[in-house]
Amino acid sequence: MEFAELIKTPRADNVVLHCPFHLPVEGTLCLTGHHLIFSSRRQDNAEELWLLHSNIDSIEKRFVGSLGTIVIKCKDLRIIQLDIPGMEECLNIASSIEALSTLDSVTLMYPFFYRPMFEVLQDGWSSFLLEQEFELLSSVTNEWRLSCVNKEFSVCPSYPAVVIVPKCIDDDALRKVALFRHGGRFPVLSYYHKKNGMAMLRSSQPLTGTNGRRCKEDEKLINATLRSGRRGFVIDTRPLAVAQQARAKGGGFEQEVHYPQWRRIHKYIERFNILQESFIKLVEACNDQSHNMDRWLSKLEASNWLTHIKELLTAACLAAQCIDRESASVLVHGSEGTDSTLQVTSLAQIILDPRCRTIHGFQALIVREWLQAGHPFQQRCAQSAYSNSKQKWEAPVFLLFLECVWQIHRQFPCSFEFNEQFLITLFEHAYASQFGTFLGNNENERAKLKLPQKTMSLWSWVNRPEELSRFQNPLYEANSLVIWPSVAPQSLQLWEGVFLRWNRPSKFLEEAEAERIKIIKYNKELQAKVNVLRRQLAELEADGEVQEP
């Protein structure tokens, strides 16, 4: 297919661009296969806009006389308005944008066309291999092994080719367990707590059905993670009633009789369309500046967004508490084990593992617990808060996770090597990107699309020194402790960096942030200078003493 077929009017002059908190600018609008480009054609190119079509969530058009107006709502929640003279041009442009922003084939997406202007220092596609992770693990324990049972993605289509499982469980047993778990997602190691040797496993629901089917290998597998005489906890992210209903559809939960050493806790985490609706309501509330205080607060409440944040943080703290405080192993699952399960396991690691709070460690966490673990990014992030499509599979699961990280970050601002900007960047790229990292729903699909060969990895770009410095938290000081966030409603806040980002001028806040960074940097310079001077003085003094008879 040629993109040109979709672009009837590639260019329009005298277009006026309205962005929030900027004066309207007049300029030229161009459409290319993947971008909407606006330029004021000023010498300094100060007023340029490059917008990925894939970043466009919805568009609206209206006319006053022959002047058409297109309102573009982006997946990163920004809203811009273009005034285009000429009805035909406007209609053409609107329909082109609509077509180009909803291409249904993955291979037509920009990452397949993007040619980076930078030199790749380290290929992000091979930066985070599970084998490396396993090597680290092997240095502290030999109770685990790397299994290639899923080499052809045949045992579990949504798992990566290699997984870490208890050493005493062979591949044949794994195949049997896979048949007993929804989507073949047998329990695998998610996190190993070095401090006390406890493990966090994740899986999908067991297929017990109404007649209480059991699987000896499954029981053996998860029992293998227990210390003798100790109990473990199964954290089921569904309420008991839902878990019970699931039996009628062939799903179910671990029954006490067959798992006597495990205690089951139901900690409900909302999913799918409920989350998506919550997201849409929150964004609506934030975008309406005319709300009086009561209306704003009731809209904020009605969105339920912060309730979801609190529930998720609480569940993650619970998992972390079981491991760190109760010295118990934990198995986390919901139904499919691709959404709320991953939210809980990854957040628990943020709380427990200082490595996950470094830039590199956080990337590794996202690769391991989200990309390799088979969170269906392409489905979940197909549309954002402005979409009208209301597809069941769209849900801001990953955004919710990022916001929880942000909430913990706010409570421990010195314990994270990365800054808020890094989280926002990940949010943006999960929804629209020039990189292939978040394309596809699992490793199997990514392999079929040959993403590592055909597209650039986000990590290749992020980890370049120039970029990395933008994402560094100047306050960071390694903190090896477990960090327990407060989940009281008074301690939680709206993530203004995402939800109010385009709704209020942020100049003063940015300047203040720059000043903070300046103070920290200046401190480091002064420290260095003092050290140099002190050494100089010491040398001079030493010389003096030598000269002295």
Partner 1 sequence: MEHIRTTKVEQVKLLDRFSTSNKSLTGTLYLTATHLLFIDSSQRETWILHHHIAAVEKLPLTTSGCPLVIQCKNFRIVHFVVPRERDCHDIYNSLLQLSRTAKYEELYAFSYNPKQNESEQVKGWQLIDLAEEYKRMGVPNDYWQLSDANRDYKICETYPRELYVPRTASKPIIVGSSKFRSKGRFPVLSYYHKNKEAAICRCSQPLSGFSARCLEDEHMLQAISKANPSNRYMYVMDTRPKLNAMANRAAGKGYENEDNYSNIRFQFVGIENIHVMRSSLQKLLEVSGTRGLSVNDFLSGLENSGWLRHIKAVLDAAVFLAKAIAVESASVLVHCSDGWDRTSQVCSLGALLLDSYYRTIKGFMVLIEKDWISFGHKFSDRCCQLDGDPKEISPVFTQFLESVWNLTEQFPQAFEYNEAFLLQIHEHVHSCQFGNFLGNCQKEREELKLKEKTYSLWPFLLADQKKYQNPLYNPDFSPELTLLEPNTVSFNFKFWRNMYHQFDRSMHPRQSVFNLIMNTSEQNKQLEEDIKELETKIKRRNGQSDVVLEKEQEQTAHPAPVALKSPPCFQKEQPPLPVNDAVRTIEGSNTADNRYSELVSEFSKAEPAVVSLEYGVARMTC
Closest CA to 191 of 324, 18, 340, 381: 324
Candidate segments 31-39, 158-166, 369-377, 473-481, binder of partner 1 by CB under 8 A = 473-481
Min. distance of Cβ 524 from partner 1 in angstroms? Answer: 6
Binding residue for partner 1, selected from 7, 156, 322, 367, defined by CB under 8 A: 322
Instruction: Out of 47, 83, 277, 326, point to the residue binding partner 1 (CB under 8 A).
Output: 326
Q: Are 265 and 234 in contact (CB under 8 A)?
A: yes
Smallest separation, CB 496 to partner 1 (Å): 8
Q: Which residue stretch of 270-278, 388-396, 413-421, 463-471 sits at the interface with partner 1 (rule: CB under 8 A)?
A: 413-421
- Answer for the pair 77, 420: CB distance below 8 angstroms, yes or no: no
Residue 46 and residue 146: Cα distance in Å, rounded? 52
Q: How many residues does the chain have?
A: 549
Residue 252 exposure: Cα atoms within 13 Å on the Cβ side: 19
Backbone angles phi, psi at 211, to 5 degrees: -95, 15
Binding residues for partner 1 restricted to 487-546, rule: CB under 8 A = 487-494, 500, 503-505, 508-509, 511-512, 515-516, 519-520, 522-524, 526-527, 529-530, 533-534, 536-537, 540-541, 544
Q: Binder to partner 1 among 32, 69, 314, 421 (CB under 8 A)? A: 314
Alpha helices (H) in 304-396, listed in sequence order: 305-324, 340-352, 359-366, 377-380
Q: State the minimum distance, in angstroms, from the CB of residue 523 to partner 1.
A: 5
Is 23 a binding residue for partner 1 by CB under 8 A? The answer is no
52 binds partner 1, rule: CB under 8 A: no
Of 97-105, 272-280, 318-326, 440-448, the window that binds partner 1 (rule: CB under 8 A) is 318-326
Cβ closest to partner 1, residue 248 vs residue 540: 540
Under the binding rule (CB under 8 A), the answer on residue 468 touching partner 1 is: no
State the minimum distance, in angstroms, from the CB of residue 351 to partner 1: 10
- Rule CB under 8 A: choose which of 273, 483, 497, 501 binds partner 1: 483
How many residues touch partner 1 under the rule CB under 8 A: the total is: 79
- Closest separation between CB of residue 296 and partner 1, Å? 4
Q: Shortest approach of partner 1 to residue 527 CB, angstroms?
A: 5
Cα distance between residue 546 and residue 106, in whole Å: 75
Nearer to partner 1, 132 or 491 (CB): 491
**Secondary structure tally for the chain: helices H, strands E:** 19, 14
* Per-residue interface string for the shown chain with partner 1, residues 276-295, x marking contact by CB under 8 A: ----------x--x-xxxxx
Least spacing, CB of residue 167 vs partner 1, in Å: 29
Contact status, residue 163 vs residue 316, Cβ threshold 8 Å: no
Q: Is 114 an interacting residue with respect to partner 1 (CB under 8 A)? A: no
Q: Residue 69: exposed, middle, or buried by beta-carbon count in 10 A (0-12, 13-18, 19+)?
A: middle
Residues contacting 359, CB < 8 A, separation 6+: 417, 418, 422, 468, 471, 472
**Which 8-state DSSP code applies to residue 43?**
T
Give the tokens for residue 496: 């203004």
22 lies in the binding site for partner 1 (CB under 8 A): no
Q: Taking each helix axis from N to C terminus, what angle separates 293-303 and 272-287, rounded to the nearest 10 degrees?
A: 160
196 binds partner 1 (CB under 8 A): no
CB of 295 vs partner 1, minimal distance in Å: 8
Q: Which is nearer to partner 1, 77 or 364 (CB)?
A: 77
Q: Is residue 241 part of the contact set for partner 1 (CB under 8 A)?
A: no
The distance between the two most distant Cα atoms of the chain, rounded to a whole number of Å, is 99
Does residue 404 bind partner 1 (CB under 8 A)? no
Contact pattern from residue 248 through residue 277 relative to partner 1, giving x for each residue in contact according to CB under 8 A and a dash for the rest: ---------------xxxx-----------
- Judged by CB, which is closer to partner 1: 254, or 339? 254
The DSSP string of 281-295 is HHHHHHH-TT--HHH
Return the residue of 248, 413, 454, 542 that touches partner 1, per CB under 8 A. Answer: 413
3-state secondary structure 146-203: EECCCCCCCCCCCCCCCEEEECCCCHHHHHHHHHHEHHHCCCEEEEEECCCCEEEEEC
Identified binder of partner 1 from the candidate list 69, 411, 421, 472, rule CB under 8 A: 411
* Spatial distance between the Cα atoms of 368 and 245, rounded to a whole number of angstroms: 31
Q: Which stretch binds partner 1 (CB under 8 A): 52-60, 143-151, 206-214, 405-413?
A: 405-413
Starting at the earlier edge strand, list the strands of the sheet with 330-333. 188-193, 198-202, 330-333, 232-236, 262-266
Work out how close the CB of 283 gets to partner 1 at its nearest, in angstroms, rounded to a whole number. Answer: 12
- Reported as half-sphere exposure (CB side, CA atoms, 13 A), residue 227 has a value of 10
Q: How far apart are CB 344 and partner 1 at their closest, in Å?
A: 14
CB closer to partner 1 out of 403 and 445: 403
Q: Applying CB under 8 A, does 195 fall inside the site for partner 1?
A: no
Give whichever of 228 and 490 is closer to partner 1, judged by the CB atom.
Answer: 490
Strand (E) or helix (H) holding 268: none
Look-up: residue for tokens 């200046």? 522
Q: What values do phi and psi take at 132, rounded to 5?
A: -65, -40
**CB closer to partner 1 out of 270 and 443:** 270
Q: Which residue has the tokens 């590199």?
A: 360
Taking the complex as a whole, how short is the minimal distance between the CB of residue 270 and partner 1, in angstroms?
A: 12
Query: Does residue 111 contact residue 14 with C-beta atoms inside 8 Å?
Result: no
Alpha-carbon gap, residue 100 to 77, rounded angstroms: 19
CB of 514 to partner 1, least distance (A): 10
Among 51, 199, 300, 331, binds partner 1 (CB under 8 A): 300
Spatial CA neighbour of 143 closest among 192, 216, 201, 204: 192
Q: What is the DSSP-derived secondary structure letter of residue 330?
A: E
* Distance in angstroms (rounded) separating the CA atoms of residues 18 and 3: 27
